Amino acid sequence: MSILGTRVLRKEDPRFLTEGGRYVADLVLDGALCATYVRSPMAHAHIVAIDVEEALAAPGVVAVFTADDVDLAPASPPFAGLLPEAMARPWLATDVVRFVGEPVAVILSETRAQGEDAADLVVVDLDPLPAVVDPEDARNDTVVLFPEHGTNVALDLSGGAESDPTLFDECDVVVRLRIVNQRVAPCPLEVRSCAARWETDGRVTVWLSTQAPHAARTKLAEALGLDESEVHVIAPDVGGGFGAKIDPYPEDVLVPWLARRAGRPVRWVETRSESMVALGHGRSQLQLAELGGGRDGRLGAYRLTILQDGGAYPSTGTLLPFLTRSMLCGVYDIPRQECLPISVVTTTTPTVAYRGAGRPEATAAVERAIDRFAAEIGLDPAEVRRRNLIPPTAFPYTNPTGSTYDIGDYERALDIALDTAGYGELRAEQELRRASGDRTQIGIGLSTYVEVTGGAGMKEFGAVEVRPDGSAVVRTGTSPHGQGHVTAWAMLASEQTGIPVERIEVLHGDTDLVPRGEGTMGSRSLQQGGVAVHQAAVAVVERARQLAAELLEASPDDIVLDKEAGRLHVAGTPTAGRSWADLAAAAAGRDGDGDGDGLRAEVDMAAAGTTYPFGAHVVVVEVDTETGHVTVRRIVAVDDAGRILNPLLLQGQVHGGLAQGVAQALLEEVRYDDDGNPLTSNLADYAMISAAELPSFELVNPETPTPLNELGAKGIGESGTIGSTPAVQNAVVDALAHLGVRHVDMPATPERVWRAIVAASS
């Protein structure tokens, strides 16, 4: 019986539940100094002077550095050639600060408390400049953040094209909707942290809370002027990332530089308040959606105009419209479409990838527009969706923006979601509530989505080695931060070798132990990292078969693996065999082929293409029409991620995604005042979701395996967020539709919902 597809408990959990995790902040580092960053209290200002004399004299302070002291080469903007050189972010602010929280100086002290006290003594003389918080104001260049560039536009994917005035000429009905995908904070439970120590051989060891240790090694080496072989990056346990920990930040890069300057190890752990204003934010995309079609429910044309807020310095968030455009029409066959994306800079925290990264924004736009169109023509929103879904016979399907969907059955997913939820009964209950004038109304929200995961041409490293004691070790270039890779990769190796999961060690996150890797992001791990491990395990079994054949003087074709016994033997002669321990010991001592290399195989798996998970969500909410309070009563999530490796791990990923989707729809929003001051700089002001706001989820996971990899696996880490966010928003609007409410921006807070009700009744 195969172990794949079964609910195997996480190998990681006993240690987390007993000893606890081992994070960068837990690292015992003898003689280490503490780094404390002094941050700008203004959103936009000239730096007149920085006086560090009093801080230098403070107890325990060893050194204070400003931008003038940093002798590193200037950093280039990420994605060279796409983003303007003039907008590159400095290691420490030079001449101008551009967001509250930007580092302007760094203190080295014996203790963290001493550093925090000394930071208050640094006098930063700032000459205020006008702030620009609204991306629409930034687009108009009312305040230009980089005068040498001449505009706040960081990236124009429209190519300067004008909208087609004839796009909707053949449509009977056209709806237009302004949609705000508000700025959100990732809020990983482990804040950013980094430590560095220079070794006696001239190498530097950097411990970093990161999603991509090998990419961090590359960027650290480049910044420090070193060869990659001179940089050792270790990602210990990582307490969440959600996309915000893919790339090293200036604060991370400066830690090993500080250690080199001080001649002592240095550690830095940010505070929660720092994390809220300096860790990259997500979303922050303003959309104008225009959708047209016939009164029969068939859609004819769609235009999405995107204004992406990249924050103060262009980073990954600036490029998100690429993904939004690639998934423009989602699961729908819309003959004519147009996308006009522009990214700008503002005096706010830079935006980065955040769970879904561009795909939730695309789904939010088209799913809200579908509901608005359905209301305009008087058809049920489920029926409008059904009439426009791409049929299963169309795959592989290339959408008008050039994305080729591998496989899908969107109507099946929608039907499962509607049947599981009891859609007809829910609509009947809604009619009764409306007819009775009940204070508490229910809304039913739908979302049918497709997303893109992995990446064509991306590679991932995987290795499997059987040890002389019969156990095995897996090395992977992926770097987990909650996904359960230790369990999943052990299962894949066990499936091929028969070695029990308990006897398989999984190594990751250490660039000395794992030579290369891409890391964990974009829902790519199983379909690329997992497939690499699978391929390596297959290769190990084949090598073992060849070795056993030689030792037993038989043909390799006659050698079979008895997984239960852990032996390879001649077919029909179980007694003539060798155990895994025998074969590994023999391989380790060989003088011929393998040269004592042991029983191992390495693979660099190259993805054949991107995969496109899909699904449908139904959300039921109750809205108190007198207070505007929204309660999520029920969530039915149908998410198809291809072949399922471990239902337990899959459901954990969907749970997390649903929670973050509901959070964006109802609660979470990073806010600034007109001067660029953050108003949500701690978890008392920022409404991070908790279990109290969430119901139990009803999860259904059909399997439509992709033909693009041996496992048939597609991504699942972001699907829950992509499907749930518009479903919740649609449910809120649906609850109020009979009162005349046509749209409620996210987050649908009680005040915002109450104001929408009042506005519709006046």
Q: Is 90 exceeded by the pLDDT of residue 606?
A: yes
Between CA 462 and CA 157 the distance in angstroms is 36
Between CA 602 and CA 474 the distance in angstroms is 10
Burial code (b: 16+ CB inside 10 Å, e: under 16) for 394-418 equals: ebebebebebebbbbbbbbbbbbbb
**Backbone region of residue 275 per phi and psi (left: phi > 0; alpha: psi in -120 to 50; beta: other values):** alpha
Between CA 463 and CA 601 the distance in angstroms is 6
Burial degree of 376 (CB within 10 A; 0-12, 13-18, 19+) = middle
Percent with pLDDT over 90 in the chain: 95
Tokens encoding 243:
């996309």
Q: What is the pTM of this model?
A: 0.96
Burial degree of 200 (CB within 10 A; 0-12, 13-18, 19+) = exposed
Closest of 563, 422, 571 to residue 499, by C-alpha: 563
Averaged over 13-21, what is the pLDDT?
95
Question: pLDDT per residue over 535-585, tens digit each?
Answer: 999 999 999 999 999 999 999 999 999 999 999 999 999 989 999 999 999
Q: Report how far apart the first and last C-alpha atoms of the chain are (Å, whole number).
A: 66
Residue type, 415: D
Q: What is the mean pLDDT of the chain?
A: 96
Q: Is 90 exceeded by the pLDDT of residue 457?
A: no
Averaged over 741-758, what is the pLDDT?
98
Q: Is 70 exceeded by the pLDDT of residue 525?
A: yes
Between CA 58 and CA 121 the distance in angstroms is 8
Are 325 and 157 in contact by the 8 Å Cβ rule? The answer is yes
User: 590: pLDDT confidence band, cut at 50, 70 and 90?
Assistant: low
Averaged over 490-501, what is the pLDDT?
98
Are 158 and 298 in contact by the 8 Å Cβ rule? The answer is no
Instruction: Please report the pLDDT score of residue 476 as a whole number.
Output: 98
Instruction: Please report the pLDDT score of residue 159 as a whole number.
Output: 79
User: 594: pLDDT confidence band, cut at 50, 70 and 90?
Assistant: very low
Instruction: Please report the pLDDT score of residue 592 as a whole number.
Output: 46
Between CA 316 and CA 708 the distance in angstroms is 27
User: 596: pLDDT confidence band, cut at 50, 70 and 90?
Assistant: low
Averaged over 735-757, what is the pLDDT?
98
- Order of strands, sheet of 599-606, starting from the edge strand that comes earlier in the sequence: 504-507, 472-476, 459-466, 599-606
Q: Is 70 exceeded by the pLDDT of residue 595?
A: no
Averaged over 602-612, what is the pLDDT?
95
Q: Is 70 exceeded by the pLDDT of residue 699?
A: yes
User: 27: pLDDT confidence band, cut at 50, 70 and 90?
Assistant: very high
Q: Is 50 exceeded by the pLDDT of residue 375?
A: yes
Closest of 398, 580, 326 to residue 471, by C-alpha: 580
Whole-number Cα distances in Å, 48 to 93, 98, 461, 723:
12, 14, 49, 48
User: 161: pLDDT confidence band, cut at 50, 70 and 90?
Assistant: confident
User: 247: pLDDT confidence band, cut at 50, 70 and 90?
Assistant: very high
Q: Which residue segments constitute the domains of the chain, with CATH numbers given? A: 15-129+189-240+245-278 (3.90.1170.50), 130-186+280-391 (3.30.365.10), 406-451+612-762 (3.30.365.10), 455-606 (3.30.365.10)
Q: Alpha carbon 445 to chain centroid distance? A: 24
List, in order, residues 6 or more apart from 634 with CB less than 8 Å away.
Answer: 421, 618, 619, 620, 695, 698
Averaged over 257-271, what is the pLDDT?
98
DSSP string, 424-447: HHHHHHHHHHHHHT-SEEEEEEEE
Bridge partners for 310 per DSSP: none
List, in order, residues 6 or more apart from 60 with CB less than 8 Å away.
Answer: 109, 110, 111, 114, 115, 118
Averaged over 731-741, what is the pLDDT?
98
Instruction: Please report the pLDDT score of residue 693 as a whole number.
Output: 86
Tokens encoding 762:
């006046």
Averaged over 75-104, what is the pLDDT?
94
Percent with pLDDT over 70 in the chain: 99
Q: Alpha carbon 375 to chain centroid distance? A: 33
Instruction: Please report the pLDDT score of residue 643 as a whole number.
Output: 98
